[in-house]
Amino acid sequence: MATEETSDMRERHVQRHEEATAGGAFAPWIGGEPHETGESFETVDPAVGVPITSVPLCDAGDVDRAIEAAREGFEREWSETTQAERSRRLFDLVDRLREHVEELAHLECLDTGKPISDARGEVEGAIGTLEYYASICRAQEGRQVQAQEDLHLYTRHEPYGVVGGIVPWNFPIWAAAWKLGPALAAGNCVVLKPSSDSPLTATRVAELAAEVFPDGVLNVVTGPGSTVGARIADHEEVRKVSFTGGTDAGEAVMRSAAGHLAPVTLELGGKSPFVVFPDADLDRVVDAVADGIFYATGQICDAFSRALVHEDVHEEFRERFVERAESYTLGDPLDDATTMGPLTSREQFETVREYVEIGSEEADLLTGGGRPDDPTLADGWYFEPTVFGGADNDDRIAREEIFGPVQTINTFSTYEEAIDLANDTRFGLAAGIGTERTDLAHNAAADIDAGVVYVNEYGPILPEAPYGGMKDSGIGRDLGREVLDHYRQTKSVYLNLGEPSL
């Protein structure tokens, strides 16, 4: 039964929905203009369970039109742009987005349930990523190969043409920037698909970008992965696909792209360990592990969901960590005091709830385990920070990606056991190391199978460094200078030289 407090919160959100959506079309963006379709779907505010707005629903035919618009935009104008011109336009987009930081942050907050402070930081992170690729765009160069005296041999880089980007619901604007920055800097046109659970910032960015880029350079299509995402992956005109999401979906994308031999970048799931060695500074490490599992309500692919703690410090770590978990403020994401918002969808709430039921039979529930008691939050998909002790590495809650605020704590006694436990998983996205010893930090970073390793902290994630995983966590990398090679092809040019004569 709704209370006066829940009604007040709902009314506040409904008013903010109207304010946040007043300035945008929130529609697919194809060929430089909004695109209408015959059907629509609602994107729902997870804090109050109320629709924010309706978004046109694309089908495979709409995707085909977006791909055709991208191809035409590439052939008509974008393929002829210089690196300096692309850099300038990316900087123009950065300036345009900076004028709308608060608007985009509120859209992200409402659409995903992230606390407004986190949403604001992620919008800034997306803008910083685009700024990085605007900065290095002009530095792209081929090289001369000094093979023999009578031969001028050099390489040049060329874009693929049309590339597809498919981004998840947990980091909509930031993940979009990870795809758009290098793809556009390398000279491609893009067809981007945001998640149906959180499409608002991507569509708004495309609308703002229409004032910066030629028609067809940036296109956005909205709808489910089963139709819209699948069509992007299997369309023969899409010569490169970059996907962030679940491992099963990533495998499907890879199979579809293989039908026309399009290369793929896959940033997939994780079950990341944080290894706490006996010399660790627990003041730092407890916060690092908490940040790594409770940020974004645990809906992060590199979440530190497995704490592996040396037996000498296990009891103290567990006590401190439970206290830290219970310190989070669950509340209205629009409130700056809130440190944890709801899960993004009812489906994800049910998934987390089911895993906690399984975990309660496998391990010891130390705190959390369900909805918070606060009646103000009754309409949202809120879930308490949850900690299990005594978890075995073979337990389902310790092996399967939950994608929620659920932490397991396990123990080890030797360095070798710690590394074995850390690597005893099908995933290999990220890992954390808690130690004050440089030899332990460097050796463990080398020995753990993970694409990203954090020492004594969680994050930051910076555009300057590659990001991606090993094993079932994916192939290829986002971010870093190297990722430009994922969005361009290298051509070798052999120019045979005759003897000079007059």
Query: Which DSSP string corresponds to 135-162?
Result: HHGGG----EE---TTEEEEEEEEE-SE
Catalytic residue among 103, 108, 207, 401: 401
133 Cβ contact list (under 8 Å, min separation 6): 90, 181, 182, 184, 185, 463
Tell me the pairing of strands 218-220 and 189-193: parallel
- Give the integer Cα–Cα distance in Å for 330 and 293: 15
Q: Mark whether 189 is an active-site residue.
A: no
CA angle, residues 275, 276, 277, in degrees to nearest 5: 110
Helix (H, G, I), strand (E, B) or coil at 435: coil
Q: What is the helix (H) or strand (E) element at residue 243, kind and residue range?
A: strand 240-244
Say if residue 76 is in the same domain as residue 184.
yes
Q: What is the pLDDT of residue 44?
A: 98
User: Is residue 302 in some structural domain?
Assistant: yes
The CATH number given to whatever domain includes residue 133 is 3.40.605.10
Report pLDDT digits (tens) over 113-135.
999 999 999 999 999 999 999 99
Say if residue 294 is in the same domain as residue 345.
yes
Say if residue 253 is in the same domain as residue 382.
no
C-alpha dihedral over 387, 391, 396, 402, to 10 degrees?
Answer: 20
User: Is residue 26 in some structural domain?
Assistant: yes
Say if residue 356 is in the same domain as residue 480.
no
CB 392 within 8 A of CB 412: no
Say if residue 253 is in the same domain as residue 302.
no
Per-10-residue mean pLDDT for the chain, 502 residues long? 74 96 94 96 97 98 98 97 98 98 98 98 98 98 94 97 98 98 98 98 97 97 97 98 97 97 98 98 98 98 98 98 98 97 98 98 97 96 98 95 98 98 98 98 98 97 98 98 97 94 86
Number of residues written out for the chain: 502
Q: Mark whether 207 is an active-site residue.
A: no
DSSP code, position 301: T
Q: What is the pLDDT of residue 1?
A: 45
Say if residue 294 is in the same domain as residue 376.
yes
Say if residue 330 is in the same domain as residue 194.
no
Say if residue 252 is in the same domain as residue 291.
no
Say if residue 41 is in the same domain as residue 174.
yes
**Token representation of residue 305:** 């969901």
Catalytic residue among 108, 131, 207, 267: 267
The CATH number given to whatever domain includes residue 450 is 3.40.309.10
User: Is residue 421 in some structural domain?
Assistant: yes
User: Is residue 232 in some structural domain?
Assistant: yes
To which residue do tokens 């956005």 refer?
220
CB 128 within 8 A of CB 474: no
Catalytic residue among 122, 301, 384, 471: 301
337 Cβ contact list (under 8 Å, min separation 6): 329, 331
Q: Is the peptide bond before 460 cis (omega within 30 degrees of 0)?
A: yes
C-alpha dihedral over 206, 211, 215, 218, to 10 degrees?
Answer: -30
User: Is residue 494 in some structural domain?
Assistant: no
- Give the integer Cα–Cα distance in Å for 479 and 282: 31
| Burial (CB count within 10 angstroms: exposed 0-12, middle 13-18, buried 19+), residue 301 | buried
Domain that holds residue 190: 4-268+476-489
Q: What is the pLDDT of residue 6?
A: 75
B/e letters for 332-355, b = 16+ CB within 10 Å, e = fewer, are bbbeeebbbbbbbbeebbebbbeb
Q: What is the pLDDT of residue 2?
A: 54
Catalytic residue among 108, 114, 131, 193: 193
| Number of compact structural domains in the chain | 2
User: Is residue 123 in some structural domain?
Assistant: yes
Say if residue 279 is in the same domain as residue 256.
no
CB 492 within 8 A of CB 153: yes
Among 90, 124, 128, 220, residue whose Cα is nearest residue 166 = 220
Report pLDDT digits (tens) over 167-201.
999 999 999 999 999 999 999 999 999 999 999 99
Q: Mark whether 193 is an active-site residue.
A: yes
DSSP code, position 22: T
User: Is residue 497 in some structural domain?
Assistant: no
User: Is residue 470 in some structural domain?
Assistant: no
Say if residue 243 is in the same domain as residue 297.
no
Q: What is the pLDDT of residue 3?
A: 65
- Give the integer Cα–Cα distance in Å for 136 and 23: 32
Q: Mark whether 301 is an active-site residue.
A: yes
- Give the integer Cα–Cα distance in Å for 307 and 391: 10
